[in-house]
Amino acid sequence: MKLIIAIVQDEDAPNLIDVLMKNNYGVTKLASTGGFLKSGNTTLLIGVEKEKVDEVIRIIEELCQSRKQVTTSPSLTTLSPGVYVPYPVEVQVGGATIFVVDVDRFEKV
Ligand code: 2BA
pLDDT digits over 41-96, tens only?
A: 999 999 999 999 999 999 999 999 998 988 876 655 556 677 777 778 888 988 99
Q: Whose CA is nearest to atom 31 of ligand 1?
A: 34
Q: Which of 38, 97, 101 has most ligand 1 atoms within 8 Å of its beta carbon, as the pocket-test mutant?
A: 97
pLDDT digits over 11-53, tens only?
A: 999 999 999 999 999 999 999 999 988 889 999 999 999 999 9
* Structural domains of the chain ordered from first start: 2-66+94-102 (3.30.70.120)
d(CA 46, CA 51): 13
Please tell me the predicted confidence (pLDDT) of residue 43: 98
Q: Report if pTM > 0.85.
A: yes
Q: Whose CA is nearest to atom 18 of ligand 1?
A: 36
Q: Whose CA is nearest to atom 21 of ligand 1?
A: 91
In this prediction, residue 99 has a pLDDT band, given cuts at 50, 70 and 90, of very high
